[in-house]
Structures are given as structure tokens and as C-alpha cells.
Amino acid sequence: MRTYRDKLVDGLLAAYAVTVVCGFAGGCVYATLLTGGWSLHHAESIPIGAIFGFAGVAALATAWIAAIAACVLALPLFAFLLGRGVASSTTYVAAGALLGGVLATIFAAAHSMAGFLVVPEFWFWLLIVIVSGLLSGTMFWVAAVRNPSTQ
């Protein structure tokens, strides 16, 4: 039987992993949309290696931000829910949406006060933050609560 700490660590690691994957996928989509598509043979399109390179940089930036957000925001919230014995998937998805919304609000406020990066591309990345919040809440629930090895 897994302990409370085991469940919390498993859930946070799963949520962290899916957040980094969202950053990589967002980087792929962004690079592809920015250049008008990709092709292995056409000279006017961006090479797939360049798309993956940009996505790797996006995933690396996401990893740093997600690590800080996991310690400051996700750990207390998910520890509270797990400690209270909440087992509803809806609650964990809503908690992930709350985390994504809070992080998107922090980014939007910081960027609008600084007066940079408030362009259509910035709104795309805010959408990625919110989607990764939803998915991280779902993955936390799958790894920490729903996992059959928790019995």
C-alpha cells in the first residue's frame, strides 16, 4: 500500500511530466504555424529538425517554470485535496484548471505591466498554459488517486 507521500510524489511527477510534454507540443505547433508548415523536401518550409529544436527550447523553459509552479502552487493545492481524501476526477481537473488560470493570469499581468510580448503569439502560449493545467490536474488524479496500485 502506498503512503500519502508516495501518492503525492507520484501525482506531482506525472503532472510535471505532462506539463513539459505540453510545452514541447506547443513549441511544435507554434513553430509550424509561424513558418507556414513543414516538409521534408520543400525548400520554403522549415525543416522538421528546426521545429523539434524550437520545441525543445520551449520544453526546457516549461520545465523551469513548471518546477517553480509545482513547488509554490501545485504542491499545497494537491496535498490539501489528497489529504482530505478527495477522489473525484472533476475536482482534480478543476484544480488543474485553477492552477493554469492562476499561472496564465500571473504571466498576463507581468507581461502587460512590462509592456512586452502582448501579441497574438503570447495569447497562444497562455492557452497552452491553461491546457497544461487541465492536463496536469487530470494526470495527478490518474497517478495519485485512480492508480490501481494505491489499494
Model confidence pLDDT, tens digit, residues 34-50: 776 655 555 566 778 88
Model confidence pLDDT, tens digit, residues 15-38: 999 999 999 999 998 888 877 665
Task: Give the span between the Cα atoms of 93 and 106, in whole angstroms.
Answer: 20
CB 103 within 8 A of CB 129: yes
| Cβ-based neighbours of 32, under 8 Å, separated by 6 or more | 38, 46, 51
Which element (helix H / strand E) includes 57? helix 48-69
Average pLDDT, the chain: 86
- pTM, rounded to two decimals: 0.85
Q: Is the dihedral of CA 88, 90, 91, 95 positive or negative?
A: positive
CB 9 within 8 A of CB 140: no
**pLDDT at position 129, please?**
93
